[in-house]
Amino acid sequence: MTVSQQIPVATLGVPRIGRRRELKFALESYWSGKSSAADLLTTAKALRAANWEEQRDRGVSKIPSNDFSLYDHVLDTAAMVGAVPSRYGWNGGEVPLDIYFAMARGNQGQTENGGHGHNYAAHAPSLTAMEMTKWFDTNYHYIVPELEDDQAFTLSSTKPVDYFLEAKVLGIHTRPVILGPVTFLKLSKSPADGFDPLALLPRLLPIYQELLSKLKASGADWVQIDEPALVLDLNPNERAAFEFAYGQLSTATPELKIMLATYFGSLGDNLETAVSLPIAGLHIDLVRAPEQLEPVGRLAPKDLVLSLGLINGRNVWRANLLSILDRIKPTVAGWHLDRVEIAPSCSMLHVPIDLRMETALDANIGSWLAFAAQKTDELVVLARALSEGRDAVADALTASAEATAARATSTKIHDPLVEGRIANIKESMKRRTSAFAVRSQVQAGALELPPFPTTTIGSFPQTLQLRKARAAHAKGQLSYVDYETFLKKEIEAAIRWQEEIGLDVLVHGEFERNDMVQYFGEQLSGFAFTEHAWVQSYGSRYVRPPIIFGDVSRSNPMTVRWWEFAQSLTQRPVKGMLTGPVTILNWSFVRDDVPRSEVCRQIALAIRDEVTDLERSGARMIQIDEAAFREGLPLRACDRESYLDWAVECFRLASTGVQDATQIHTHMCYSEFNEIIGAIAELDADVISIETSRSAMELLDAFTNSKYPNEIGPGVYDIHSPRVPEVAEISALLLLARERLSDAQLWVNPDCGLKTRKWDEVRPALKNMVAAARALRERV
Ligand code: GLN
Ligand code: ZN
C-alpha cells in the first residue's frame, strides 16, 4: 500500500432534525402560526452550522452540504427543478415556503396523521398534498414527485449553491449532495399509464447542468450525486439512462468531480454500468454487500475514487473495526490509497444522532451501540488505520473488538430457553388444525355474525386527556391504580358506545398503548428503549425505534387483562388485539449478530404465547396486525421469496396455535398486494382487513376469489381524513367490493385504526358505516 496523504472521510449525509428535535418544533410552530418563516429559517441555519462544525471537529474531510432539508430531499429536488404540480398555483421563480409545505402536507393547518405504516398522503379538503411513500427499504418516507407528460423543468432554487456558500462563510469547504436525475425520475409518479418518467431525462439534464456549473462557479470541486436506483433491478433502458445522464453531466462541467453514491444494496448486474460511467468517484455499500468490494476494485478504472461504505448507516451497532480492516485487507492491499475514501454505507439520516444523550440506557447495552456521532468517529479511526497504520489507532481498534466480543458472549443477549424453543419448532406449529373451509364453518356456527359483519381496526381516538394521563403515569405523578381506573373507564365507554351504534365485533380501543410496537417491546425481554434516539420518518414526524439487542421472550401476558375487562362488559365478541412479529421486527433496530429471520421467529413465539393466553381466557377472535409486513420486502426481486418465506412462517408461528373455532384476523395498512398476494394467502388468517377506500376498491383486484378464498374487510372509510363519509359513499364502496368478492367473504370496517382521529369525526363516521352495512343486509 502506498499512501501519500490522509485518506478522506465522508459521511454522505447526517441527521437533520437536531439533537433536541429543534427542526420539528420550529416547523410545527411555523405551521401553527406561532412563529415566522424567519424564525424557522434561523433554526434551520443553526442546525446546518452545528452539523458542519461537528463533522469538521470530528475529522470528517468530505463534509456534505445540501443533505439538510426542511421536509424531504426528494421534495427539495422536485421544487428545485420546477416540478410543481399546477394545482399549487406556482408562477415560476423560487418556490415559496408555503407552496413547498402545501406540496408536502396539503394546505390544511393540521398535520393529518401520525402512527405507523400509512401512505401518509394528507387529504386536505381544498388542496391535496402530494403522495408519500417509503424511501427504498427504509422507514423514511419521501414525497413522490408528480410529473406531467409534457413537463417542463426550470432551475427554480439554488439551495445546493446557497448551502455551499453558507458553509464557506464558516470556513468549511463542503461537498454538496444532490439527488441524481435518474433516481429522481424513477421515483416519480408516472404522469399517465404506460408513460415512463425517464423519457423526461433529456429535458431534466439541462437543469442539472446549470446547477453543476453554478456549484463549480461558487468554488465546489466535488459534488455527491446520489443514485440509489443503481441497486435496483434495472432494465437495459434504465441502464442506458445512466450512461446518457452521466455522459451529459460530465461533459458539461468536466472540472467538477462527481462522486456517484449508491447504497442500500449491491450494484449486482448494474456493476459494469456503474464503473464505466464518466465519473470521478463511486460510493458502494459494503455493509449490505461486502462481496462487491473485490469486483468493483477489479473492474473500476484505476483513477476512479472508491468510497467504501464500511460503517452501517442503517443500524445502531458499534462496529468491530479490526474485523472490517481484516476483511478488506486482501482486496485493498495492492491499491494506491489515493483511490479510497471511507464512508458509512449510506447517509446517516437513518440513525439517531448521539449515543451520549442516552444517560438512562443500561451501560452494557450502551457500550455496544454507535449513533451518528460515534459512527463518524469510527470512520475516522478506519481511515487513520489505513493511512497511518493500525498502531496509530491501536486503542480504538482494541476497544471496538472488545466491545464486540463482550456483546457476543453477554448473558444479556443469550437466553438458552429461547434458543431451545427455536430449535424445537415443529412443522405442526406452523399450521392450523383444519383448512379454512372447515374452520370457517365452525366459526360461523360459534360466532353467529350477520352477513357483512361490521368492526373496527382496533384503536379509538387518543385524546389529549388520555395522552396526559399516560404522561403523568410515566412521570410517576399518576399512580398505576388511578391510571388503570382511568383506562378502564375509557374502555367501558368505548364498549357501551360500540354496542349502542350496533357494531358486531368490538374492540377495547387500545387506550393503554403509546405505540403499537413500543407497547409490546416494553413488555418483552431483549428490547431496549431510548430517550432521545429519534430518526425522521417523514417531515416533522420522528420515531424512536426500539432496539432489539437480545433473545426475545415474554414472561407475562401483555394484553389479556385489557381484553378480559372489555369482554366482561358485553356479550358481543371483543377482538384480542396484537401486533405481529414481522411488524415488530420491521419497525425496530434489530441485532446484527443473528439473522433477522431468527429474531422474527423469537418474537413470533412470544406472540404465540399471548395468543394462547387470550384464547384460554375466552377470546373468540384475535387480530394480529402486520402493518409493516410489506415494508420488509427486499429491493431486488431475487431476494423477495426468501423474505416472504420466513415472514409468512413467523406470522403462522404466531397465529396458528389456536382451535378451529378461534377466528384469527390480521390487518395491513395498504393494499398494494399484487406482488405478494400469494404470501398473503399463505398467512391463512381467517379475516384480513386492508386499506382500500381511496382506491375505489380497484386494489381489491389482487384478491379475486381464486387467489384469496378467506374473508376480507376492505376499508370503506378513509381514516386519514377528518371528513365524515356519507352512508351513500360507503354503500357505493361496498357495491364495488361486491363486484370483486363474494358476499360470504366481505366484512365492513374502516381503512385503519382511529387513534389519530377525533371522537367527533369517528362517531358519525362509524354510525354511517353501520347504516351502510345494514342497508346492504336488507337488500340481499
Ligand atoms: N390495531 C392498530 C390500530 O388500530 C392497527 C394500526 C396499524 O395497523 N397501523 O391502531
Ligand atoms: Zn392500519
Residue 779 has pLDDT above 80, yes or no: yes
Q: Is 18 in the pocket of ligand 1 (CB under 6 A)?
A: no
Ligand 1 nearest-atom number relative to CA 626: 8
Rounded to the nearest 5 percent, the helix, strand and coil shares of the chain are 45, 15, 40
Measure the CA angle with vertex 476, ends 545 and 584; round to 5°: 20
SS3 309: strand
Neighbours of 549 (CB within 10 A): 26
pLDDT band for 118, please (50, 70, 90 cuts).
very low
* Distance of alpha carbon 600 from alpha carbon 578, whole angstroms: 15
* Distance of alpha carbon 566 from alpha carbon 535, whole angstroms: 35
Distance 752 CA to ligand 2 centre (A): 4
423 and 556 Cβ atoms separated by less than 8 Å: no
| Residue bearing the CA closest to ligand 1, atom 1 | 458
pLDDT at residue 573, as a whole number: 98
* Distance of alpha carbon 197 from alpha carbon 181, whole angstroms: 11
- Nearest Cα residue to 720 out of 117, 122, 110: 122
Model confidence pLDDT, tens digit, residues 537-587: 999 999 999 999 999 999 999 999 999 999 999 999 999 999 999 999 999
767 and 456 Cβ atoms separated by less than 8 Å: no
pLDDT at residue 572, as a whole number: 98
- Please name every residue paired with 590 in a beta bridge, in sequence order, or none if there are none: 548
- Nearest Cα residue to 517 out of 582, 453, 574, 570: 582
In this structure, which residues have their CB less than 5 angstroms from ion ligand 2? 669, 752
Q: Which amino acid is at 760?
A: D
Residue 309 has pLDDT above 80, yes or no: yes
Q: Is 577 in the pocket of ligand 1 (CB under 6 A)?
A: yes
Distance 271 CA to ligand 1 centre (A): 41
| Residue bearing the CA closest to ligand 1, atom 8 | 627
CB neighbour class for 217 (10 Å; exposed up to 12, middle 13-18, buried from 19): exposed
| Residue bearing the CA closest to ligand 1, atom 5 | 753
- Please name every residue paired with 178 in a beta bridge, in sequence order, or none if there are none: 225
pLDDT at residue 106, as a whole number: 86
Residue 691 host element (H or E): none
SS3 524: strand
- Nearest Cα residue to 339 out of 386, 382, 383, 303: 303
Task: Please pick, among 73, 118, 532, 720, the residue that the annotation labels catalytic.
Answer: 720
Ligand 1, pocket-test mutation among 667, 719, 755, 766, most atoms within 8 A of CB: 667
* Distance of alpha carbon 611 from alpha carbon 225, whole angstroms: 49
Q: Which amino acid is at 745?
A: Q
Q: What phi and psi, each to the nearest 5 degrees, are found at residue 556?
A: -135, 155
Q: For residue 320, give every residue at least 6 positions away whose Cβ sits within 8 Å of its Cβ, in sequence order, or none.
A: 400, 401, 403, 404
* Distance of alpha carbon 6 from alpha carbon 387, whole angstroms: 6
| Residue bearing the CA closest to ligand 1, atom 3 | 753
* Distance of alpha carbon 623 from alpha carbon 306, whole angstroms: 49
* Distance of alpha carbon 398 from alpha carbon 377, whole angstroms: 14
This prediction has a pTM of 0.95
Mean pLDDT over each residue of the chain, to the nearest integer: 95
- Please name every residue paired with 79 in a beta bridge, in sequence order, or none if there are none: none
Question: Which is it for strands 663-668 and 621-625: parallel, antiparallel or unpaired?
Answer: parallel
Residue 701 has pLDDT above 90, yes or no: no
Model confidence pLDDT, tens digit, residues 270-282: 999 999 999 999 9
Percent of the chain with pLDDT over 70: 97
Cell matching residue 553: 421472550
Binding-site residue numbers for L-homocysteine are: 457-459, 510, 625
Q: Is 576 in the pocket of ligand 1 (CB under 6 A)?
A: no
Distance 457 CA to ligand 1 centre (A): 6
DSSP label at residue 131 = P
Q: Is 358 in the pocket of ligand 1 (CB under 6 A)?
A: no
Burial profile 606-630: b = 16 or more Cβ within 10 angstroms, e = fewer: bbbbbbebbbeeebbbbbbbbbbbb
pLDDT at residue 119, as a whole number: 33
* Distance of alpha carbon 60 from alpha carbon 172, whole angstroms: 11
Q: Please tell me the least confidently modeled range out of 127-136, 167-176, 383-392, 545-554.
A: 127-136
- Please name every residue paired with 143 in a beta bridge, in sequence order, or none if there are none: 132
Average pLDDT for 239-245 = 98
Residue 81 has pLDDT above 50, yes or no: yes
Higher pLDDT, 723 or 230: 230
Distance 459 CA to ligand 1 centre (A): 6
Model confidence pLDDT, tens digit, residues 393-443: 999 999 999 999 999 999 999 999 999 999 999 999 999 999 999 999 999
| Residue bearing the CA closest to ligand 1, atom 4 | 753
Ligand 1 nearest-atom number relative to CA 623: 1
Q: Please tell me the least confidently modeled range out of 99-108, 520-529, 560-569, 635-644.
A: 99-108
Average pLDDT for 714-737 = 94
- Nearest Cα residue to 510 out of 159, 329, 757, 715: 757
449 and 506 Cβ atoms separated by less than 8 Å: no
pLDDT at residue 99, as a whole number: 96
Q: Is 516 in the pocket of ligand 1 (CB under 6 A)?
A: yes
pLDDT at residue 108, as a whole number: 56
Q: Is 457 in the pocket of ligand 1 (CB under 6 A)?
A: yes
- Nearest Cα residue to 745 out of 535, 437, 506, 457: 437
Among this protein's residues, is 73 annotated catalytic? no
| Widest CA span in the chain | 84
Strand extents, DSSP E, 589-657: 589-590, 621-625
Cell matching residue 599: 429474531
* Distance of alpha carbon 574 from alpha carbon 582, whole angstroms: 24
Residue 234 host element (H or E): none
Neighbours of 578 (CB within 10 A): 27
Average pLDDT for 647-657 = 98
Sign, Cα dihedral of 233, 236, 237, 243: positive
Model confidence pLDDT, tens digit, residues 703-723: 876 789 999 999 999 998 889
Sign, Cα dihedral of 742, 747, 749, 751: negative
Average pLDDT for 450-462 = 98
Q: What phi and psi, each to the nearest 5 degrees, are found at residue 285?
A: -85, 110
648 and 679 Cβ atoms separated by less than 8 Å: yes
Written as one string, the DSSP assignment of 10-53 is B-S----S-TT-HHHHHHHHHHTTSS-HHHHHHHHHHHHHHHHH
